[in-house]
Structure 1
Amino acid sequence: MSLPGKSYGQTDTGFVVPAEEAPHQRTFMQWPVSRKVYRDPVFLEMVQQTIADIANAISDFEPVIMLAAAERHAEARRKLSAKVQLWDIPTEDLWCRDSGPIFAINGKKELAVSHVQFNGWGQKQVHTNDARVAGRVAERLSLPLLATGLKGEAGGVEQNGYGLLMAHESSWLNDNRNPGLSRDEIEERLLAAYGARHMIWSEGVYGEDITDYHIDSLARFTGPRRVLINLPDDPDMSDRFHVAALETYDRLAANGLQVEVIPEPHSVRTNGPEFVASYANYYVCNGAVVMAQFGDPETDSIASETLARHYPGREIVSLNVDVLGELGGGIHCATQQMPFV
């Protein structure tokens, strides 16, 4: 396969999703509120504070919009910086990467929302409001909503902005999202949704976590032909996630990409069966990279130094977001960029 080294320009729709490191107008986030999801009110407040911490950090570099029902604005405002704006768009949970709008730009510098329908990660969680977030944001911004014919989440596909995608089959080729569609059909629709030309698949892991192993917790593009991947120093070959991660590494390397490994932390503050300690789940905003630190001085430092090399000229902001790791996610999962036009 010939991999792109520069933009292929317009696709059939004329809309392309830019790389995350391209300039942003703003960042969107969602305020978590559902007691069906968060039955413990103390834990919910911890989650809300962590989301506020991320929003406040990003707001030092670019505008942030927090989506929440109007009746939730007072509680959110107590934790949010004055620089963070609140919009009256109801939410259940915080995962704006998955339920939020995917913004694309055409050659006329017009914006649209490329709409992959969120369905609660395959009907695994309540999503009455979250399923409508993307459409409601598009309506408020008076942007066209471009149907893709897909159910899924943006966290399940990673794009470099230059015509290349990567994904795990488990998040897409799955009856809980896209029953009856073949991999070729899903690939064609994803390429159209992102304005891309090529795609690299690996198998992933089915049914072991709510996302069916989103790619953005493992590997991220940092340029047209560069990838960062988060791998353990000593993989456990009885662990399905470790085996799948090594397969993804091999697929990426076999396709001629420059793949650099960030080690997983050797020790973390929070131990639990669902805890995700992913340095790859960072967010690139204007002038900064916002990343998780896990309390392991060695690997936290390696991750910070690596991101500084891959994103020169940007400040590296490290946050304790362990509560999101307990939920199986991270900073990237909680954010969605709106590109600058």
Structure 2
Amino acid sequence: MPRRTLLQLAALAGGLSVFSQAAEAKTTARSTGFCYPEETDPHERTFMQWPNNRKVYDDPDFLFDLQGTIARIANAIVDFEPVVMMASAEHHKAIRKRISSKVELWDIPTDDLWCRDSGPSLVVDGKGGIAVTQFNFNGWGNKQLHGNDGRIAARVAERLGLQVFNAGLVGEAGGVETDGHGTLIAHESTFINPNRNRDTKAEIEAMLLETMGARKMIWAPGIKGADITDYHIDALARFVKPGVVVIQMGDEPDPKDPWSVSAFETHDILAKATDAEGRKLNLVVLPEPSDIRTEADDFVSSYVNYYVCNGAVIAAQFGDRQADEKAKATLADLYPGRKIVMLDIDNVGQVGGGIHCATHEQPKV
């Protein structure tokens, strides 16, 4: 069952985050001098989640293949840095047969694979301190069950003995990009949405800045209701480093395609924006692949949804030789000194995401 088709998903709440907005004191990352670092900074490890919930994936053959793709991603990353795969202990024996012996297994129950959204978001203070900052994951606006996934961030914090900050924001880390130096970009459709937050735009912006430890917010409208994420920014545009953003789009907007219209709208807003230091953003455009292996309606063919780990960039290839080669060359230029590893992750694309969606880094302090 394609994960990101709203009409095919039941709105199953499945449980709230361990840290409710009402109960948690509003001690935030920003107020205590913590911030989300650049993804290119050294990592202690990568977190991933094992998809296993049969209410989310009712086709056992598809689920088996999807798990194989998650194993392939983990096995690629672990050649460059430690990887922790989170799953209930009952699944460990079967998982071990499919992943590298170098991948560590933690007994933390999961529902789905989207560790960027439901996994631990970690902030640092530049003095050796590290903490978890809560996004209070609610299944993308209660569109999917998340009884286990809504508790992952808190369980990781408990296992690592880390402080938890909570500004009261509800959302997902995949919905916001940071340069690690005070600037955020996001689509309004993801956060300024009553399925996550019922506050005003100004209040939600303030919570997001407090959650990430940032100073400047750049909003673009995005699209509500077209996919389960309400258009996460990390499938379209990413910070490479402060002042540089990579964005994927076609040669010209297609007025009949809302995704195309929104992408060009976001591009134009970013082209006029300045970051927290007052710099204009340099935009690097990646091509859209066209001759790809799958024709699934929900397929996400995003080169931009790559993952930067220690010494490498792990990215997707889609079978369009010219576009794949262009993407690989562009990423090599943007990340000099890192190996560019391109993987077939079509099963993850079919359920609406990419490699960045399936991973979450722990910064080294």
TM interval, shorter chain, is over 0.9
User: Cα RMSD over matched residues?
Assistant: 0.9
Please state how far the C-alpha of 1:235 moved relative to its aligned partner. 3.0
Report the equivalent of 1:340.
364
Report the equivalent of 2:306.
282
Please state how far the C-alpha of 1:24 moved relative to its aligned partner. 0.2
Q: Secondary structure at the match of 1:295?
A: coil
Equivalent position to 1:49, from 24, 45, 68: 68
Report the equivalent of 1:301.
325
Q: How far does the alpha carbon of each residue in 1:316-338 deviate from its partner, in whole angstroms, 9 at most, with x for none?
A: 00000011111110000000000
Q: Secondary structure at the match of 2:52?
A: coil
The residue type paired with residue 205 of structure 1 is I
Equivalent position to 1:36, from 48, 55, 58: 55
Report the equivalent of 1:7.
none
Report the TM-score when normalising by structure 2.
Answer: 0.90
Report the equivalent of 2:108.
89
Report the equivalent of 1:186.
204
Equivalent position to 1:272, from 288, 292, 296: 296
Q: Aligned partners of 2:228, 2:167: CA distance in 1, in Å?
A: 22
Judging by fraction of residues, say which structure has more strand: 1
Q: Aligned partners of 1:213, 1:287: CA distance in 2, in Å?
A: 29
User: Residue 226 of structure 1 contacts residue 259 of structure 1 at CA under 8 Å; is this kept in 2?
Assistant: yes
User: Residue 163 of structure 1 contacts residue 195 of structure 1 at CA under 8 Å; is this kept in 2?
Assistant: yes
User: Residue 204 of structure 1 contacts residue 213 of structure 1 at CA under 8 Å; is this kept in 2?
Assistant: yes
Equivalent position to 1:198, from 201, 208, 216: 216
Report the equivalent of 1:260.
284
Please state how far the C-alpha of 1:234 moved relative to its aligned partner. 4.2
Please state how far the C-alpha of 1:270 moved relative to its aligned partner. 0.5
Report the equivalent of 1:248.
266
Q: Aligned partners of 2:217, 2:316: CA distance in 1, in Å?
A: 28
Equivalent position to 1:102, from 117, 121, 132: 121
User: Residue 13 of structure 1 contacts residue 192 of structure 1 at CA under 8 Å; is this kept in 2?
Assistant: no
Q: How far does the alpha carbon of each residue in 1:98-157 deviate from its partner, in whole angstroms, 9 at most, with x for none?
A: 000110011421110001111000011110000000000000000011112011100000
User: Residue 235 of structure 1 contacts residue 242 of structure 1 at CA under 8 Å; is this kept in 2?
Assistant: yes
User: Residue 110 of structure 2 contacts residue 149 of structure 2 at CA under 8 Å; is this kept in 1?
Assistant: yes
Moved over 4 A (4+): none
Report the equivalent of 2:38.
19
The residue type paired with residue 206 of structure 1 is K
Q: How far does the alpha carbon of each residue in 1:277-328 deviate from its partner, in whole angstroms, 9 at most, with x for none?
A: 0000000000000000000111101100111111100000000001111111
250-259 or 282-291, larger mean C-alpha shift: 250-259
The answer on 1:64 being equivalent to 2:78 is no
Q: Secondary structure at the match of 2:32?
A: coil
Percent identity, aligned pairs only? 58
Q: Aligned partners of 1:161, 1:167: CA distance in 2, in Å?
A: 14
Q: Secondary structure at the match of 2:167?
A: strand
- Unpaired runs of 5+ residues, structure 1, are 1-9
Q: Aligned partners of 1:117, 1:238: CA distance in 2, in Å?
A: 35
Report the equivalent of 2:257.
239
The residue type paired with residue 305 of structure 1 is A
User: Residue 169 of structure 2 contacts residue 211 of structure 2 at CA under 8 Å; is this kept in 1?
Assistant: no
Report the equivalent of 2:189.
170
Report the equivalent of 2:26.
none
Q: Aligned partners of 2:195, 2:172: CA distance in 1, in Å?
A: 12
Counting matched residue pairs gives 331
The residue type paired with residue 226 of structure 2 is E
The answer on 1:292 being equivalent to 2:310 is no
Please state how far the C-alpha of 1:273 moved relative to its aligned partner. 1.3
Q: Secondary structure at the match of 2:315?
A: strand
Q: Aligned partners of 1:43, 1:272: CA distance in 2, in Å?
A: 14
Report the TM-score when normalising by structure 1.
Answer: 0.96
Q: Aligned partners of 1:162, 1:186: CA distance in 2, in Å?
A: 20
User: Residue 30 of structure 2 contacts residue 209 of structure 2 at CA under 8 Å; is this kept in 1?
Assistant: no
10-19 or 326-335, larger mean C-alpha shift: 10-19
- Unpaired runs of 5+ residues, structure 2, are 1-28, 274-279
Equivalent position to 2:347, from 297, 305, 323: 323
